[in-house]
């Protein structure tokens, strides 16, 4: 049992250039992807999710077009681990707590992410280089 249910790992997101090719890698490992592919238009990505256990998932993020943060990330750094996402009960409350502690949040107000979640991000410049998403399931 987890000691602190206020913050649990929801997913590890990986930026990929070829969604089906990357799905095969993780399926070869033994994971099973949901058949659904969700497009998040605000980020110009197609996503695919596979459960790792009862809480955590792998999220593959595949950009389309030349816009959006994931396209920019792959162009600059190549494919690879893009962010960690932690599930919280109240994303606005957690964002305020983090701002009060001096962290830089990407959005003033949480926005809709994949999987019917309200999300915000802690900028990697204030976390030692790791992009961290906080997410509230609606």
What is the closest distance, in whole angstroms, from the C-beta atom of residue 1 to ligand CMX in the complex? 27
Q: Which stretch binds ligand CMX (CB under 6 A): 2-10, 16-24, 91-99, 115-123?
A: 115-123
Least Cβ distance, residue 83 to ligand CMX (angstroms): 5
The closest of 26, 28, 95 to 57, measured between CA atoms, is 26
Nearer Cβ to ligand CMX, position 28 or 40? 40
Of 1-9, 21-29, 40-48, 90-98: span binding ligand CMX (CB under 6 A): 40-48
Restricting to residues 69-108, name those near ligand CMX by CB under 6 A: 69, 72-73, 76, 82-83, 106
CA Rg value for the chain: 15
Residue pair 62/17 in contact (Cβ under 8 Å)? The answer is yes
30, 101, 129, 138: which one binds ligand CMX (CB under 6 A):
129
Give the closest residue to 121 by CA, choosing from 97, 99, 105, 100.
105
DSSP string, 13-34: EEE-S-HHHHHHHHHHHT--B-
Q: What single-letter DSSP state applies at residue 8? A: E
In this structure, the number of other CB atoms found within 10 A of the CB of residue 74 comes to: 18
Question: Site residues (CB under 6 A) for ligand CMX?
Answer: 40, 43, 45, 47, 59, 61, 69, 72-73, 76, 82-83, 106, 113-114, 119, 121, 123-124, 129, 131
């Amino acid at each position: 049992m987890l000691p602190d249910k206020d913050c649990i790992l929801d997913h590890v997101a990986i930026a990929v250039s070829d969604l089906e090719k990357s799905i095969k890698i993780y399926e070869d490992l033994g994971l099973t992807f949901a058949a659904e592919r969700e497009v998040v238009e605000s980020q110009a990505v197609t996503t695919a999710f596979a459960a790792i256990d009862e809480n955590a998932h792998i999220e593959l993020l595949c950009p389309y077009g030349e816009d959006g943060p994931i396209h920019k990330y792959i162009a600059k750094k190549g494919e690879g681990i893009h962010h960690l996402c932690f599930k919280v009960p109240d994303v606005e409350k957690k964002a305020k707590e983090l701002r009060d502690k001096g962290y830089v949040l990407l959005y003033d107000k949480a926005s809709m992410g994949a999987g019917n979640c309200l999300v915000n991000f802690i900028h990697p410049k204030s976390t030692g280089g790791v992009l961290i998403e906080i997410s509230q399931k609606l």
